[in-house]
Amino acid sequence: MDYRKNIYSLSLNELNDFREAVNLLKANGTYDTFIERHHHAMMHATPMSGEPNNANIRNAAHRGPAFSPWHRQELREFELALQSVKPGVTLPYWDWAQDAALPDPTAAPLWTDAYIGGDGAGPNNLVPDGPFKDWVARIETSTGALVPRSTPGIVRMLGRDPLGFPTLPNAAEVTDSLAEGVYDSAPWRTTSTPSFRNRLEGWLRRPAEPPEPRMHNRVHTWVGGDMQPGTSPNDPVFFLHHCNIDRIWAQWQAANPGLPYVPASGGPPGHNATDPMLFLEVAGVTPNSTLDHHAMGYMYDTEPPIVTQIRWLEALAWAWIIIIGGLMVTPGGIECIRCGRAVTRVLGVVSMALGVLGLVSQTRAGRAGVTQRFTPQQIDVKGDMHS
């Protein structure tokens, strides 16, 4: 089971491995296939009967129910690709609502050389540092083809893109989204309400809210630059962002186990529960086949039931050793026939001590795992880790 963490909880080695794996995929051409598939999905209209054939109304991966499952499968394919070049790497998520609470979200550690590079600078707003700064983006022509951009570099304009919006979604907006009582509803597009999917994607807003993108859409427009077009996977933050979107969907699923994915049938092509989704690497994947992310092979560090269960099992194993040790030192308990009472009691004391040590170590390691952070100063300008 792959364990997806908050990017700020990665160890130095984990972060370094992730950055290296992403760069390896870019170098061998695999990364760009994810840009192409996302772009093609964006261009492919999925009209219902009577609707215009227009990808802005709904397409293979957006503005419809398949938004969440399509991206879940895309992320898993990306994660497996990362593991093909760097075994053990898992996809981290960027909890943007956490950064939204900062006085200045653009100063968050994510936007530093230590993580994924900073805000764009200079006349072209190119990312000046970090592990991906020299990447060549692929952009669309008016004929629909993708070509390399003539100027190397990733464009970012955090909270200041003239085509974007200046704030990130906050924790209250995430909570509001999680309160939606159905996954989606007809007409299965940007006007669907009630709809968890539509609120998560960012088209649905409260009557008093301004006509601006929210949630998922808002984050794309806040990062700005290369995150604005349909070729948004050009910026690797795309995957960190969508990993967080997927985590929120997993939270909603866990909180609403009785609420199914809809539509089961009768909806737009490619969006029904058993329709094959288009433009993914693996053919034939349906929304239904993505509903159990544990079955897909990963989990999030914010899933308390399973994490708790694992920790309880570990604690139980250490406790068992303590109990056995206790029986060995107890008169009338366990006594080795060949070793005799004295040796058994010594072994019992050692066993109990080991058990207590294990239990304490496990508890401390568990706490460290959810609080571990490091600062940009721990990593030099080339992205190499300081010991």
> Under the rule (CB under 8 A), what is the footprint of another protein?
42-43, 52-57, 59, 62, 124, 139-145, 147, 149, 155, 159-166, 190-191, 202-203, 211-213, 216-217, 220-221, 226, 228-232
Residue 101 class from Cβ within 10 Å (0-12 exposed, 13-18 middle, 19+ buried)?
exposed
d(CA 176, CA 325): 51
Give me the least distance between CB of 45 and another protein, in Å please: 8
Which two structure tokens, joined as six digits, stand for 354? Answer: 């080991």
Phi/psi-derived region of residue 92, left when phi > 0, alpha when psi is between -120 and 50, beta in every other case? beta
| Residues recorded for the chain | 387
Give me the least distance between CB of 230 and another protein, in Å please: 5
Looking at the Cβ atoms of 134 and 380, the one nearer to another protein is 134
- 45 touches 58 (CB < 8 A): yes
121 bridge partner residues: 126
Longest dimension (CA), the chain: 87
Give me the least distance between CB of 248 and another protein, in Å please: 17
Which two structure tokens, joined as six digits, stand for 147? Answer: 């070509």
Q: Which of 302, 255, 293 is nearest to 69 (CA)?
A: 293
Amino acid identity, residue 4?
R
Residue 40 CA: distances (Å) to CA of 91, 146, 290 = 23, 10, 21
Please name the residue that has the structure tokens 């990808």.
55
Looking at the Cβ atoms of 168 and 328, the one nearer to another protein is 168
Phi/psi-derived region of residue 262, left when phi > 0, alpha when psi is between -120 and 50, beta in every other case? beta
d(CA 357, CA 380): 36
Q: What is the DSSP string of 116-130?
A: T----BTTTTB--SS
Looking at the Cβ atoms of 52 and 103, the one nearer to another protein is 52
Looking at the Cβ atoms of 236 and 383, the one nearer to another protein is 236
**Residue 49 CB contacts under 8 Å (≥ 6 apart), including other chains:** none
The 3-state DSSP class for residue 68 equals helix
d(CA 57, CA 191): 10
Cα first-last separation, the chain: 28
Note if the bond before 263 is cis, omega within 30 degrees: yes
